[in-house]
Amino acid sequence: IVWSHRARSAQGRFAQKLLNDLMENYSSALRPVEDTDRALNVTLQITLSQIKDMDERNQVLIAYLWIRQTWHDTYLKWDKEAYDGLEVIRIPSSLVWRPDIVLYNKADDDFSGPVDTNVVLRYNGEITWDSPAITKSSCVVDVSYFPFDSQQCNLTFGSWTYNGNQVDITMGMDSGDLSDFVENVEWECLGMPAVKNVIMYGCCSDPYPDITYTVLLKRRSSFYIFNLLLPCVMISFLAPLGFYLPADSGEKVSLGVTVLLALTVFQLMVAESMPPSESVPLIGKYYIATMTMITASTALTIFIMNIHFCGAEARPVPHWAKVVVIDYMSKIFFVYEVGENCTTPQAKREEPHANGKTYEEFDLPANLNGSLKEELCCPLKGGTHVYTCGHNDELMRNVEYIANCFREQRATCAKGAEWKKVAKVMDRFFMWIFFIMVFLMSILIIGKAP
Protein backbone atom coordinates (compact mmCIF):
# COMPACT_ATOMS: atom_id res chain seq x y z
CA ILE A 1 0.00 0.00 0.00
CA VAL A 2 2.83 2.39 0.83
CA TRP A 3 4.50 1.58 -2.50
CA SER A 4 1.26 2.24 -4.40
CA HIS A 5 0.81 5.57 -2.62
CA ARG A 6 4.37 6.60 -3.46
CA ALA A 7 3.83 5.56 -7.11
CA ARG A 8 0.77 7.73 -7.41
CA SER A 9 2.53 10.61 -5.77
CA ALA A 10 5.45 10.25 -8.16
CA GLN A 11 3.07 10.04 -11.11
CA GLY A 12 1.28 13.13 -9.86
CA ARG A 13 4.58 15.03 -9.77
CA PHE A 14 5.35 13.90 -13.32
CA ALA A 15 1.87 14.99 -14.47
CA GLN A 16 2.41 18.41 -12.92
CA LYS A 17 5.79 18.71 -14.56
CA LEU A 18 4.32 17.54 -17.88
CA LEU A 19 1.56 20.12 -17.76
CA ASN A 20 4.03 22.91 -16.99
CA ASP A 21 6.30 21.81 -19.82
CA LEU A 22 3.42 21.56 -22.32
CA MET A 23 1.88 24.92 -21.46
CA GLU A 24 5.19 26.82 -21.23
CA ASN A 25 5.11 28.18 -24.78
CA TYR A 26 1.62 26.96 -25.83
CA SER A 27 -1.12 29.23 -27.16
CA SER A 28 -4.74 28.07 -27.34
CA ALA A 29 -5.62 30.85 -29.78
CA LEU A 30 -3.95 29.37 -32.87
CA ARG A 31 -4.81 26.31 -34.89
CA PRO A 32 -2.34 23.58 -33.72
CA VAL A 33 -0.77 22.53 -37.04
CA GLU A 34 2.84 22.73 -38.18
CA ASP A 35 1.90 23.52 -41.77
CA THR A 36 -0.73 26.25 -41.90
CA ASP A 37 -1.68 25.22 -45.43
CA ARG A 38 -2.87 21.82 -44.25
CA ALA A 39 -6.31 21.19 -42.78
CA LEU A 40 -6.83 19.95 -39.25
CA ASN A 41 -9.06 16.88 -39.16
CA VAL A 42 -11.75 16.84 -36.45
CA THR A 43 -13.78 13.67 -35.90
CA LEU A 44 -17.30 14.30 -34.64
CA GLN A 45 -19.54 11.76 -32.97
CA ILE A 46 -23.00 12.49 -31.54
CA THR A 47 -24.78 10.32 -28.97
CA LEU A 48 -28.50 10.93 -28.53
CA SER A 49 -29.33 10.45 -24.88
CA GLN A 50 -32.88 11.73 -24.63
CA ILE A 51 -35.65 13.52 -26.48
CA LYS A 52 -36.78 16.02 -23.89
CA ASP A 53 -39.56 17.68 -25.86
CA MET A 54 -40.95 18.25 -29.32
CA ASP A 55 -42.64 21.64 -29.47
CA GLU A 56 -44.81 21.27 -32.55
CA ARG A 57 -46.35 24.72 -32.26
CA ASN A 58 -42.98 26.52 -32.22
CA GLN A 59 -41.29 23.80 -34.33
CA VAL A 60 -38.42 23.24 -31.91
CA LEU A 61 -36.78 19.94 -30.93
CA ILE A 62 -35.21 19.84 -27.48
CA ALA A 63 -32.68 17.02 -27.15
CA TYR A 64 -30.00 15.94 -24.70
CA LEU A 65 -26.77 15.07 -26.56
CA TRP A 66 -23.29 13.85 -25.80
CA ILE A 67 -20.86 15.45 -28.22
CA ARG A 68 -17.44 13.86 -28.76
CA GLN A 69 -14.77 15.70 -30.75
CA THR A 70 -11.37 14.20 -31.49
CA TRP A 71 -8.36 15.92 -33.12
CA HIS A 72 -4.56 15.97 -32.98
CA ASP A 73 -2.61 18.84 -31.48
CA THR A 74 0.92 18.99 -32.85
CA TYR A 75 2.20 21.05 -29.92
CA LEU A 76 0.91 18.77 -27.17
CA LYS A 77 3.08 15.67 -27.68
CA TRP A 78 5.59 14.21 -25.26
CA ASP A 79 7.86 11.26 -24.74
CA LYS A 80 6.07 9.08 -22.26
CA GLU A 81 9.32 7.47 -21.13
CA ALA A 82 10.57 10.87 -19.98
CA TYR A 83 7.58 11.19 -17.67
CA ASP A 84 7.59 7.80 -16.01
CA GLY A 85 5.45 6.16 -18.74
CA LEU A 86 2.64 8.68 -18.38
CA GLU A 87 0.41 8.27 -21.46
CA VAL A 88 -2.81 10.17 -20.67
CA ILE A 89 -3.65 13.27 -18.70
CA ARG A 90 -6.94 15.10 -18.21
CA ILE A 91 -6.83 18.85 -18.20
CA PRO A 92 -9.42 21.65 -18.47
CA SER A 93 -10.55 22.20 -22.02
CA SER A 94 -10.02 25.93 -21.70
CA LEU A 95 -6.24 25.37 -21.67
CA VAL A 96 -6.10 23.91 -25.18
CA TRP A 97 -7.25 24.95 -28.61
CA ARG A 98 -10.79 23.75 -29.37
CA PRO A 99 -12.64 23.64 -32.70
CA ASP A 100 -15.54 26.08 -32.84
CA ILE A 101 -18.08 23.50 -33.97
CA VAL A 102 -21.61 24.73 -33.34
CA LEU A 103 -25.16 23.67 -34.11
CA TYR A 104 -26.14 25.61 -37.21
CA ASN A 105 -29.92 25.30 -36.82
CA LYS A 106 -29.94 26.29 -33.19
CA ALA A 107 -33.22 27.79 -31.94
CA ASP A 108 -32.16 28.86 -28.47
CA ASP A 109 -31.83 32.35 -27.03
CA ASP A 110 -28.76 31.27 -25.10
CA PHE A 111 -25.65 31.75 -27.27
CA SER A 112 -23.17 30.43 -24.71
CA GLY A 113 -20.50 27.98 -25.85
CA PRO A 114 -20.08 24.32 -24.96
CA VAL A 115 -19.65 23.13 -21.39
CA ASP A 116 -16.06 23.51 -20.16
CA THR A 117 -15.46 19.85 -19.35
CA ASN A 118 -12.01 18.30 -19.23
CA VAL A 119 -10.28 16.96 -22.30
CA VAL A 120 -8.37 13.68 -22.49
CA LEU A 121 -4.84 14.31 -23.82
CA ARG A 122 -2.68 11.40 -25.02
CA TYR A 123 1.07 11.41 -25.46
CA ASN A 124 0.76 11.36 -29.30
CA GLY A 125 -1.16 14.65 -29.28
CA GLU A 126 -4.63 13.14 -29.67
CA ILE A 127 -7.28 15.14 -27.81
CA THR A 128 -10.73 13.79 -27.02
CA TRP A 129 -13.30 16.22 -25.78
CA ASP A 130 -16.62 14.84 -24.46
CA SER A 131 -19.22 17.43 -23.52
CA PRO A 132 -22.94 17.19 -22.79
CA ALA A 133 -25.38 19.62 -24.34
CA ILE A 134 -29.09 20.34 -24.25
CA THR A 135 -29.84 21.59 -27.74
CA LYS A 136 -32.86 23.41 -29.08
CA SER A 137 -32.92 23.00 -32.82
CA SER A 138 -35.41 24.21 -35.38
CA CYS A 139 -37.39 21.41 -36.98
CA VAL A 140 -39.93 21.68 -39.77
CA VAL A 141 -42.92 19.81 -38.35
CA ASP A 142 -45.41 18.23 -40.74
CA VAL A 143 -48.65 17.50 -38.86
CA SER A 144 -50.69 16.42 -41.88
CA TYR A 145 -51.18 12.94 -40.43
CA PHE A 146 -51.42 13.86 -36.75
CA PRO A 147 -51.68 11.81 -34.54
CA PHE A 148 -50.18 9.15 -36.84
CA ASP A 149 -47.34 11.36 -38.04
CA SER A 150 -43.58 10.87 -38.29
CA GLN A 151 -41.04 13.68 -38.11
CA GLN A 152 -37.50 14.18 -39.41
CA CYS A 153 -35.47 16.70 -37.46
CA ASN A 154 -31.98 17.69 -38.59
CA LEU A 155 -29.03 18.51 -36.35
CA THR A 156 -26.39 20.24 -38.47
CA PHE A 157 -22.93 20.73 -36.96
CA GLY A 158 -20.08 22.66 -38.49
CA SER A 159 -17.27 25.10 -37.80
CA TRP A 160 -18.39 28.69 -37.49
CA THR A 161 -15.21 30.46 -38.63
CA TYR A 162 -12.95 27.85 -40.22
CA ASN A 163 -13.49 26.66 -43.78
CA GLY A 164 -12.84 23.17 -45.08
CA ASN A 165 -9.23 24.01 -45.99
CA GLN A 166 -8.50 24.84 -42.35
CA VAL A 167 -10.71 22.47 -40.33
CA ASP A 168 -12.16 19.40 -41.98
CA ILE A 169 -14.94 17.54 -40.17
CA THR A 170 -15.30 13.80 -40.50
CA MET A 171 -17.88 11.38 -39.09
CA GLY A 172 -16.88 8.97 -36.36
CA MET A 173 -19.79 6.67 -37.27
CA ASP A 174 -22.30 6.49 -40.08
CA SER A 175 -25.10 7.44 -37.69
CA GLY A 176 -25.72 8.85 -34.27
CA ASP A 177 -25.18 6.58 -31.30
CA LEU A 178 -28.45 5.37 -29.75
CA SER A 179 -27.03 2.78 -27.37
CA ASP A 180 -27.75 4.97 -24.32
CA PHE A 181 -31.01 6.44 -25.57
CA VAL A 182 -33.74 6.87 -22.95
CA GLU A 183 -37.13 6.04 -24.43
CA ASN A 184 -39.58 8.91 -24.74
CA VAL A 185 -43.23 8.46 -23.76
CA GLU A 186 -44.51 10.35 -26.81
CA TRP A 187 -41.92 9.74 -29.52
CA GLU A 188 -40.20 6.62 -30.79
CA CYS A 189 -36.74 7.13 -32.28
CA LEU A 190 -36.32 4.98 -35.40
CA GLY A 191 -32.76 6.00 -36.19
CA MET A 192 -30.27 8.82 -36.55
CA PRO A 193 -28.43 8.59 -39.89
CA ALA A 194 -25.60 11.03 -40.60
CA VAL A 195 -24.35 12.59 -43.81
CA LYS A 196 -21.48 14.94 -44.59
CA ASN A 197 -22.19 17.98 -46.74
CA VAL A 198 -19.77 20.39 -48.35
CA ILE A 199 -21.40 23.72 -49.09
CA MET A 200 -20.05 26.59 -51.15
CA TYR A 201 -21.50 29.85 -49.88
CA GLY A 202 -21.88 32.87 -52.09
CA CYS A 203 -19.70 35.02 -49.88
CA CYS A 204 -16.62 32.82 -50.14
CA SER A 205 -14.93 30.53 -52.60
CA ASP A 206 -13.79 28.09 -49.90
CA PRO A 207 -15.78 24.95 -49.02
CA TYR A 208 -17.57 24.71 -45.69
CA PRO A 209 -18.18 21.13 -44.57
CA ASP A 210 -20.85 20.14 -42.08
CA ILE A 211 -22.33 16.94 -40.70
CA THR A 212 -26.11 16.59 -40.57
CA TYR A 213 -27.72 14.06 -38.23
CA THR A 214 -31.34 13.30 -39.06
CA VAL A 215 -33.40 12.21 -36.06
CA LEU A 216 -36.22 9.96 -37.27
CA LEU A 217 -39.16 10.19 -34.90
CA LYS A 218 -42.52 8.46 -34.91
CA ARG A 219 -45.31 9.60 -32.64
CA ARG A 220 -46.81 7.13 -30.21
CA SER A 221 -50.47 7.63 -31.09
CA SER A 222 -52.16 5.63 -28.32
CA PHE A 223 -52.60 8.67 -26.07
CA TYR A 224 -54.25 10.70 -28.80
CA ILE A 225 -56.42 7.81 -29.98
CA PHE A 226 -57.96 7.34 -26.54
CA ASN A 227 -58.19 11.04 -25.62
CA LEU A 228 -58.97 12.81 -28.90
CA LEU A 229 -60.03 10.38 -31.62
CA LEU A 230 -62.29 7.86 -29.86
CA PRO A 231 -64.33 10.51 -27.99
CA CYS A 232 -64.86 12.31 -31.28
CA VAL A 233 -66.02 9.11 -32.99
CA MET A 234 -68.44 8.30 -30.18
CA ILE A 235 -69.81 11.84 -30.14
CA SER A 236 -70.19 11.72 -33.92
CA PHE A 237 -72.37 8.63 -33.69
CA LEU A 238 -74.74 10.55 -31.42
CA ALA A 239 -75.56 13.01 -34.20
CA PRO A 240 -77.64 10.59 -36.36
CA LEU A 241 -79.59 9.52 -33.27
CA GLY A 242 -81.12 12.98 -33.23
CA PHE A 243 -83.30 11.82 -36.13
CA TYR A 244 -84.51 8.85 -34.06
CA LEU A 245 -85.53 11.10 -31.18
CA PRO A 246 -89.32 11.78 -31.20
CA ALA A 247 -90.23 15.22 -32.48
CA ASP A 248 -92.66 15.81 -29.61
CA SER A 249 -89.82 15.56 -27.07
CA GLY A 250 -88.46 18.97 -28.10
CA GLU A 251 -84.83 17.84 -27.73
CA LYS A 252 -83.88 17.11 -31.32
CA VAL A 253 -82.25 20.47 -32.03
CA SER A 254 -80.71 20.64 -28.55
CA LEU A 255 -78.93 17.33 -29.10
CA GLY A 256 -77.39 18.52 -32.38
CA VAL A 257 -76.20 21.81 -30.88
CA THR A 258 -74.71 20.03 -27.84
CA VAL A 259 -72.78 17.59 -30.03
CA LEU A 260 -71.54 20.48 -32.16
CA LEU A 261 -70.25 22.34 -29.09
CA ALA A 262 -68.49 19.21 -27.81
CA LEU A 263 -66.64 18.76 -31.10
CA THR A 264 -65.70 22.44 -31.10
CA VAL A 265 -63.95 21.95 -27.75
CA PHE A 266 -61.92 19.04 -29.14
CA GLN A 267 -61.07 21.05 -32.25
CA LEU A 268 -59.72 23.89 -30.10
CA MET A 269 -57.58 21.45 -28.10
CA VAL A 270 -55.96 20.19 -31.29
CA ALA A 271 -55.51 23.70 -32.69
CA GLU A 272 -53.69 24.89 -29.55
CA SER A 273 -50.96 22.27 -29.90
CA MET A 274 -50.48 22.47 -33.67
CA PRO A 275 -48.44 25.09 -35.55
CA PRO A 276 -50.56 27.77 -37.26
CA SER A 277 -49.80 26.56 -40.76
CA GLU A 278 -51.84 25.82 -43.87
CA SER A 279 -51.40 22.10 -43.32
CA VAL A 280 -54.53 20.87 -41.53
CA PRO A 281 -53.99 17.74 -39.39
CA LEU A 282 -55.80 14.56 -40.35
CA ILE A 283 -57.78 14.59 -37.11
CA GLY A 284 -58.60 18.25 -37.72
CA LYS A 285 -60.08 17.37 -41.10
CA TYR A 286 -62.14 14.68 -39.39
CA TYR A 287 -63.43 17.21 -36.85
CA ILE A 288 -64.33 19.70 -39.56
CA ALA A 289 -66.11 17.07 -41.66
CA THR A 290 -68.02 15.82 -38.62
CA MET A 291 -68.99 19.33 -37.55
CA THR A 292 -70.22 20.05 -41.08
CA MET A 293 -72.26 16.86 -41.02
CA ILE A 294 -73.78 17.74 -37.62
CA THR A 295 -74.62 21.24 -38.84
CA ALA A 296 -76.40 19.74 -41.84
CA SER A 297 -78.24 17.22 -39.65
CA THR A 298 -79.42 19.99 -37.31
CA ALA A 299 -80.70 22.03 -40.25
CA LEU A 300 -82.52 18.98 -41.64
CA THR A 301 -83.99 18.31 -38.19
CA ILE A 302 -85.49 21.80 -38.11
CA PHE A 303 -86.95 21.26 -41.58
CA ILE A 304 -88.44 17.87 -40.62
CA MET A 305 -89.92 19.29 -37.41
CA ASN A 306 -91.77 21.88 -39.47
CA ILE A 307 -93.26 19.03 -41.50
CA HIS A 308 -94.16 17.13 -38.34
CA PHE A 309 -96.08 20.00 -36.82
CA CYS A 310 -98.14 20.84 -39.92
CA GLY A 311 -101.60 21.66 -38.58
CA ALA A 312 -105.11 21.81 -39.98
CA GLU A 313 -104.23 24.86 -42.03
CA ALA A 314 -101.58 22.95 -44.01
CA ARG A 315 -102.21 21.68 -47.49
CA PRO A 316 -102.79 17.95 -47.99
CA VAL A 317 -99.80 15.71 -48.64
CA PRO A 318 -99.02 15.72 -52.38
CA HIS A 319 -99.84 12.57 -54.29
CA TRP A 320 -96.21 11.87 -55.22
CA ALA A 321 -95.22 12.16 -51.54
CA LYS A 322 -97.93 9.66 -50.60
CA VAL A 323 -96.70 7.20 -53.20
CA VAL A 324 -92.96 7.61 -52.67
CA VAL A 325 -92.73 8.34 -48.95
CA ILE A 326 -95.78 6.79 -47.33
CA ASP A 327 -96.33 3.78 -49.59
CA TYR A 328 -92.76 2.73 -50.42
CA MET A 329 -90.16 4.38 -48.18
CA SER A 330 -92.14 3.65 -45.03
CA LYS A 331 -91.94 -0.07 -45.82
CA ILE A 332 -88.24 0.10 -46.61
CA PHE A 333 -87.42 1.82 -43.30
CA PHE A 334 -90.06 -0.10 -41.30
CA VAL A 335 -92.05 2.95 -40.28
CA TYR A 336 -95.58 1.99 -39.18
CA GLU A 337 -98.34 3.79 -37.40
CA VAL A 338 -99.64 2.89 -33.98
CA GLY A 339 -101.33 -0.48 -34.13
CA GLU A 340 -99.54 -1.50 -37.34
CA ASN A 341 -96.92 -4.19 -37.63
CA CYS A 342 -94.84 -5.84 -40.28
CA THR A 343 -97.52 -8.45 -41.13
CA THR A 344 -100.48 -6.05 -41.40
CA PRO A 345 -99.05 -2.80 -42.70
CA GLN A 346 -102.41 -1.77 -44.19
CA ALA A 347 -104.47 -2.45 -41.09
CA LYS A 348 -107.02 0.24 -40.53
CA ARG A 349 -106.55 2.21 -37.34
CA GLU A 350 -109.58 3.08 -35.27
CA GLU A 351 -109.26 6.10 -32.99
CA PRO A 352 -111.44 5.84 -29.88
CA HIS A 353 -113.79 8.64 -28.87
CA ALA A 354 -113.83 10.04 -25.35
CA ASN A 355 -116.80 7.90 -24.40
CA GLY A 356 -115.19 4.68 -25.64
CA LYS A 357 -116.85 4.59 -29.04
CA THR A 358 -115.09 5.00 -32.34
CA TYR A 359 -115.73 7.41 -35.13
CA GLU A 360 -117.20 4.53 -37.15
CA GLU A 361 -120.06 4.33 -34.68
CA PHE A 362 -120.79 8.00 -35.29
CA ASP A 363 -121.41 7.67 -39.02
CA LEU A 364 -124.60 9.51 -38.55
CA PRO A 365 -125.50 10.47 -42.11
CA ALA A 366 -125.88 6.83 -43.03
CA ASN A 367 -128.21 6.24 -40.12
CA LEU A 368 -130.24 9.25 -41.06
CA ASN A 369 -131.30 7.53 -44.27
CA GLY A 370 -132.53 4.53 -42.34
CA SER A 371 -134.53 3.88 -39.24
CA LEU A 372 -133.36 6.98 -37.37
CA LYS A 373 -134.72 9.33 -40.06
CA GLU A 374 -137.95 7.38 -40.25
CA GLU A 375 -138.34 7.45 -36.52
CA LEU A 376 -137.82 11.16 -36.38
CA CYS A 377 -140.16 11.99 -39.26
CA CYS A 378 -143.05 9.66 -38.36
CA PRO A 379 -145.41 10.34 -35.45
CA LEU A 380 -144.92 8.45 -32.26
CA LYS A 381 -147.67 5.97 -31.56
CA GLY A 382 -149.12 5.22 -28.21
CA GLY A 383 -148.38 8.66 -26.73
CA THR A 384 -150.66 11.46 -25.70
CA HIS A 385 -148.89 13.99 -27.93
CA VAL A 386 -148.38 13.63 -31.65
CA TYR A 387 -145.21 15.06 -33.24
CA THR A 388 -145.05 15.62 -36.93
CA CYS A 389 -142.06 15.80 -39.22
CA GLY A 390 -142.30 19.52 -39.41
CA HIS A 391 -141.65 19.85 -35.70
CA ASN A 392 -138.39 17.83 -36.03
CA ASP A 393 -136.60 19.98 -38.65
CA GLU A 394 -134.55 21.76 -36.05
CA LEU A 395 -133.48 18.44 -34.52
CA MET A 396 -132.47 17.16 -37.92
CA ARG A 397 -130.29 20.21 -38.58
CA ASN A 398 -128.54 19.78 -35.23
CA VAL A 399 -127.83 16.14 -35.88
CA GLU A 400 -126.45 16.92 -39.34
CA TYR A 401 -124.25 19.67 -37.86
CA ILE A 402 -122.79 17.24 -35.36
CA ALA A 403 -122.14 14.71 -38.11
CA ASN A 404 -120.33 17.35 -40.21
CA CYS A 405 -118.16 18.34 -37.24
CA PHE A 406 -117.09 14.73 -36.74
CA ARG A 407 -116.44 14.40 -40.44
CA GLU A 408 -114.24 17.55 -40.55
CA GLN A 409 -112.40 16.56 -37.39
CA ARG A 410 -111.66 13.15 -38.82
CA ALA A 411 -110.34 14.63 -42.08
CA THR A 412 -108.15 17.08 -40.15
CA CYS A 413 -106.69 14.29 -38.01
CA ALA A 414 -106.03 12.16 -41.06
CA LYS A 415 -104.22 15.03 -42.82
CA GLY A 416 -102.04 15.75 -39.76
CA ALA A 417 -101.27 12.04 -39.36
CA GLU A 418 -100.08 11.87 -42.95
CA TRP A 419 -97.67 14.80 -42.47
CA LYS A 420 -96.37 13.24 -39.25
CA LYS A 421 -95.77 9.96 -41.04
CA VAL A 422 -93.91 11.76 -43.82
CA ALA A 423 -91.72 13.46 -41.19
CA LYS A 424 -91.06 10.15 -39.44
CA VAL A 425 -90.05 8.45 -42.67
CA MET A 426 -87.69 11.28 -43.50
CA ASP A 427 -86.20 11.04 -40.00
CA ARG A 428 -85.44 7.36 -40.46
CA PHE A 429 -84.06 7.94 -43.96
CA PHE A 430 -81.61 10.65 -42.88
CA MET A 431 -80.68 8.70 -39.74
CA TRP A 432 -79.32 5.82 -41.80
CA ILE A 433 -77.70 8.18 -44.32
CA PHE A 434 -75.78 9.98 -41.58
CA PHE A 435 -74.88 6.74 -39.81
CA ILE A 436 -73.27 5.56 -43.04
CA MET A 437 -71.46 8.88 -43.43
CA VAL A 438 -70.03 8.75 -39.90
CA PHE A 439 -68.90 5.16 -40.42
CA LEU A 440 -67.22 5.94 -43.75
CA MET A 441 -65.46 9.00 -42.32
CA SER A 442 -64.16 6.96 -39.39
CA ILE A 443 -62.83 4.28 -41.75
CA LEU A 444 -61.31 6.95 -43.95
CA ILE A 445 -59.39 8.60 -41.10
CA ILE A 446 -57.97 5.26 -40.01
CA GLY A 447 -57.19 4.18 -43.55
CA LYS A 448 -55.12 7.30 -44.23
CA ALA A 449 -52.91 6.69 -41.24
CA PRO A 450 -49.39 5.82 -42.49
Residue 217, pLDDT above cutoff 50: yes
pTM: 0.71
Residue 308, pLDDT above cutoff 60: yes
Mean pLDDT in residue range 284-299: 87
- Sequential DSSP letters for 14-31: HHHHHHHHHTSS--TTS-
Taking the chain, what is the end-to-end CA distance rounded to the nearest angstrom?
A: 65
Residue 155 lies in a domain: yes
Mean pLDDT in residue range 196-210: 85
Q: Do 349 and 438 share a structural domain?
A: yes
Q: Do 232 and 196 share a structural domain?
A: no
Q: Do 376 and 269 share a structural domain?
A: yes
Biggest CA pair distance of the chain:
161
Q: Do 177 and 50 share a structural domain?
A: yes
**pLDDT for the residue 244:** 83
- Sequential DSSP letters for 97-123: ----EEETTB--S--------EEEEET
Percent pLDDT > 90 in the chain is 30
Backbone CA torsion sign across 126, 130, 131, 136: positive
* Final residue of a structural domain among 220, 249, 273: 220
Residues β-bridged to residue 91: 119
Q: What is the mean pLDDT of the chain?
A: 80
Domain range enclosing 82: 7-12+25-220
Mean pLDDT in residue range 366-381: 46
**pLDDT for the residue 41:** 94
Q: Do 108 and 91 share a structural domain?
A: yes
Residue 313 lies in a domain: yes
Q: Do 181 and 62 share a structural domain?
A: yes
Q: Do 298 and 158 share a structural domain?
A: no
Residue 312 lies in a domain: yes
Q: Do 200 and 135 share a structural domain?
A: yes
Residue 228, pLDDT above cutoff 60: yes
**pLDDT for the residue 416:** 62
Identify which has the larger pLDDT, 248 or 90: 90
* Final residue of a structural domain among 185, 220, 255: 220
In tens, the pLDDT along 120-134 reads 999 999 999 999 999
Radius of gyration of the chain (CA): 45
Residue 111, pLDDT above cutoff 50: yes
**pLDDT for the residue 354:** 39
In tens, the pLDDT along 59-104 reads 999 999 999 999 999 999 999 898 888 999 999 999 999 999 999 9
Backbone CA torsion sign across 183, 189, 193, 197: negative
Residues 297-303: contacts with CB within 8 Å, 24+ apart?
Answer: 297/239, 297/240, 297/242, 297/243, 297/256, 297/430, 297/434, 298/242, 298/253, 298/256, 298/257, 298/260, 300/243, 300/430, 301/242, 301/243, 301/252, 301/253, 301/256, 302/253
Our count of domains for the chain comes to 2
In tens, the pLDDT along 387-402 reads 455 557 777 877 777 8
Identify which has the larger pLDDT, 50 or 308: 50
How far apart are the C-alpha atoms of 448 and 440, rounded to whole Å?
A: 12
How far apart are the C-alpha atoms of 329 and 340, rounded to whole Å?
A: 15
Residue 363, pLDDT above cutoff 70: no
Beta strands of 319-417 (E only): which ranges?
Answer: none
Q: Residue 290: which H helix or E strand, with range? A: helix 282-308
Confidence of residue 7 (pLDDT cuts 50, 70, 90): very low
Q: Do 269 and 202 share a structural domain?
A: no
Residue 366 lies in a domain: yes
Confidence of residue 5 (pLDDT cuts 50, 70, 90): very low
Residue 195 lies in a domain: yes
Q: Do 380 and 281 share a structural domain?
A: yes
**pLDDT for the residue 70:** 96
In tens, the pLDDT along 315-340 reads 777 777 777 777 777 777 777 664 34
Instruction: Specify the CATH number for the domain of residue 94.
Output: 2.70.170.10
Residue 403, pLDDT above cutoff 90: no
Q: Do 216 and 244 share a structural domain?
A: no
* Final residue of a structural domain among 202, 220, 238: 220
Residue 319 lies in a domain: yes
Residue pair 140/13 in contact by the 8 Å Cβ criterion: no
Residue 20 lies in a domain: no
Distances in whole angstroms, Cα of residue 280 to Cα of each of 147, 271, 450: 12, 9, 16
Q: Which residues contact residue 370 at a Cβ distance below 8 angstroms, ignoring those fewer than 6 apart? A: none
Residue 2 lies in a domain: no
Mean pLDDT in residue range 361-381: 46
> Which of 272, 280, 265, 274 is CA-nearest to residue 235?
265
Q: Do 173 and 49 share a structural domain?
A: yes
Mean pLDDT in residue range 161-184: 92
Residue 247, pLDDT above cutoff 60: yes
